[in-house]
Structure 1
Amino acid sequence: MKVLILGAGYGTRLQRDLHASPDYKHLLGVPKALLPLGGRDALITHWLELFRSHNINDVYVVTNAATYEAFAAWAERNNVPSQNIVSDGTLTNETRLGAVPDIAFGIHHFGLENEDVLVIGGDTLFLNDFKLKDLLENVSSGSCLVTTYRVPDNQVHKFGIVETDADGVMKSFLEKPYPPDTESRLACPCFYLFDRQALPLLDAFVDEMKDQPKETFDATGKFLAYLYPRFKVVTYPISGRIDVGGLESYIEANEYLA
């Protein structure tokens, strides 16, 4: 299994918050994936240490041209090969490729087309009770795996929501639905294990969306909605996640992990 971390976003909301906060202006320009967090030099260092503790050493990062040097410095500090970091070539939020095209770009750049690939959003961590070993024991060939956790009714409209059958197999994906539109309360963070046999569908999706507005393919959940009718997607429950969106959530995450 190979790990691909998405770090090409521009964190526009967080940067606005930092501009308005005199106590945190030293973090201006730092991408969310590289924010110091809970005693580690960067959010994604938590993931790196977890994978290494399970003998998973092939960790790759897709970033953008504006923050590539910062990721390269992180890689050097953490003994990650420099060739495991790649820029998607964009310089602004307006010209960003989008999360799903970045996944496809990273898979092809790093030559992962024939590998099972775990994709993780660079602004996401799981709560401390998450057990990677347990998740890996639920992986089976011929199916993709995504994580889910329960959210309250008043939060449903903020997340991609998964509906499953009695066996936990995805049967629907709804992007930020209103609570009355679904009985499910299962949010689905960007932590997707793609079976190698499913990867051609990623290319097919990107190709179909290339002439569409960016909002039709940017969010990773858009690909899940395309994927589940064509390839089996099973779910694995977790207790919750840490999502660094703005300054308030960053402060909460830092306190929790510390």
Structure 2
Amino acid sequence: MKAVILAAGYGTRLNRDLQNDSSGHFKHLCGIPKPLLPVGNKALISHWMSAIEKIDCIDEVYVITNDLYYVKFEEWAKEFQLVKVLNDGTRSNEERLGAVACLQLAITQFNINDHVLVLGGDTLFYEDFSLSVVLARFTELQSINCDNNLVLSYLCKDEAETTKFGILETDEEFQVTAFKEKPNSTETTSRRANSPLEEKDAPGHYLLWVYSRKPVFVHHVSGRFDVGNLPSYIDCTKYFQRHGDE
């Protein structure tokens, strides 16, 4: 199995927050790509590497970033034997390829013909998350049908959140039967949140394409941190300070 970590974003909202922060406590983070931000005693993306290095079936990790941050990721990657860094060639947010195109670039560039674990480089899950449990479930699904896929989702915190995310509807076997884009809570009984569809950074588009062609099953996680702005970064760091750097 190969792991692809998507890390080619420019963090425009976060950098804007950092530049406008009146406290002065976070100015030193300006210009650091989100996956390399310190969370506890290591970079955010290094939390993923700590989990990946415990999984024997993952033999290579491809991190795709942009030309602006390529050198920073190359320096970070020296610590990890499994990691190869790919430069997508862009240097601004307006040029960015987006999540799906970056994934395709990695698959093409490295000629990947294997199962692929796709991770967002600016996302971490709560402490009860276990990568080994997720991969065990994937292996189980593959033993039933080699076309089966597995996606992570979590339950909305309240009714209003359905309008913020893509919502997955599933059957009794937790197979995805529909994907609704930011529906009103009255339009669906499901509260299983997933990435919303956006113009470029759109893993939801890929999921929408896949589930209509291949079986996609849901694995529940209790929650996640998607570091997109300063408040979400602060929440993430506080959480891992409380719960340790697992």
User: Normalising to structure 1: TM-score of the pair?
Assistant: 0.85
Gaps of 5+ in 1: 191-213
CA deviation after TM superposition for structure 1 residue 159, in Å? 1.6
2:191 maps to amino acid? R
What corresponds to 2:123 in structure 1? 124
Cα distance between partner residues in 1 of 2:36 and 2:17: 17
Q: Is the 8 A contact 1:6 1:62 kept in 2?
A: yes
What corresponds to 2:221 in structure 1? 238
What corresponds to 2:162 in structure 1? 156
User: Normalising to structure 2: TM-score of the pair?
Assistant: 0.89
- Taking the TM superposition and a 5 Å limit, the aligned residue runs for 1:166-181 are 166-181=172-187
Cα distance between partner residues in 1 of 2:60 and 2:163: 35
CA deviation after TM superposition for structure 1 residue 85, in Å? 0.1
Q: Is the 8 A contact 1:4 1:119 kept in 2?
A: yes
CA deviation after TM superposition for structure 1 residue 189, in Å? 5.2
What corresponds to 1:68 in structure 2? 70
Cα distance between partner residues in 1 of 2:9 and 2:111: 22
Is 1:144–2:146 an aligned residue pair?
Answer: no
Aligned with residue 228 of structure 1, among 211, 216, 230: 211
CA deviation after TM superposition for structure 1 residue 132, in Å? 1.7
Q: Is the 8 A contact 1:123 1:244 kept in 2?
A: yes
Cα distance between partner residues in 2 of 1:26 and 1:249: 17
What corresponds to 2:31 in structure 1? 29
Q: Is the 8 A contact 1:126 1:242 kept in 2?
A: yes
Cα distance between partner residues in 1 of 2:215 and 2:223: 23
CA deviation after TM superposition for structure 1 residue 31, in Å? 1.0
Cα distance between partner residues in 2 of 1:67 and 1:175: 32
SS of aligned partner of 1:239: coil
What corresponds to 2:238 in structure 1? 255
Distance 1:215 1:50, change over 3 A: closer
2:187 maps to amino acid? D
What corresponds to 1:206 in structure 2? none
SS of aligned partner of 1:252: helix
Q: Is the 8 A contact 1:36 1:43 kept in 2?
A: yes
Cα distance between partner residues in 1 of 2:152 and 2:169: 12
Q: Deviations over 1:164-193 (max 9, x none)?
A: 111100111122222222211101259xxx
Q: Is the 8 A contact 1:216 1:222 kept in 2?
A: no
Q: Deviations over 1:186-245 (max 9, x none)?
A: 01259xxxxxxxxxxxxxxxxxxxxxxx95453110111111111111111111111111
- Taking the TM superposition and a 5 Å limit, the aligned residue runs for 1:84-99 are 84-99=84-99
Cα distance between partner residues in 2 of 1:220 and 1:80: 28
Q: Is the 8 A contact 1:38 1:253 kept in 2?
A: no
Gaps of 5+ in 2: 242-246
Cα distance between partner residues in 2 of 1:70 and 1:232: 38
